[in-house]
Amino acid sequence: MTSPVPDRLGSPRSGVPASSAAALVRPQAVVETVVAFVRDLHASPLPEAGEPFDVESIVDEIEGRVARGEVDPAAFDEAYRSLSAEQMLASVRSYGDLLAARPAVAPVRVHGSLDLDTLLIDDGRIVGWRPVAVRVGDPYADYACLARSFVATLGPGAILAVFEQLELSDPDPIRLEFWVCATQMR
């Protein structure tokens, strides 16, 4: 199931949100469709220029947002709501430091803010999504967004289905937790 990935990630086509009751009648089909879209996105050619979406650039962005008071801990996922913005930033920095000592992953084209509410499905394919600038970075950014969105929509058991479809039998827990924390602060 291959879908074209344009230079600007976004689409005006109609469909139903992947989080809708109409789509979730067949939750495994939604997992398969969304993961196929992410695979196509990550496999598409890297653009000549793209917004960096790596650990260093995201930590810098988050530090600025926290300093300006733009991070609301009430919007964090339930498991993280007891943390202040500063505590979550400390976690992001700590995970970022750990990642600096690990082998890098190959950069891919990433969306960076995927969620089931803004992915539109029609006839078993993704036909629309939230527009974002082309980004190049760590595929775990999209894996974390998907994991968070599927857990919020279907519950924690959905993570296994997502990782099985992604063929991530041994996901990097530090890299995943960095992006889970970081994407909540953007």
What 3-state class would DSSP assign to 126? strand
Model pLDDT, residue 169: 81
pLDDT band of 12, cuts 50, 70, 90: low
CA 3 to chain centre: 18
| 96-147 confidence digits (pLDDT tens) | 999 999 998 999 999 998 999 989 999 889 998 888 887 899 999 999 999 9
User: What are the residues facing 113 on neighbouring strands?
Assistant: none
Say what the pLDDT of residue 132 is.
84
d(CA 186, CA 148): 14
Domains within the chain, CATH numbers bracketed: 16-184 (3.90.1200.10)
Q: In what order do the strands lie in the sheet with 51-53?
A: 51-53, 135-137, 108-110
Alpha carbons 86 and 53: distance in angstroms, whole number? 21
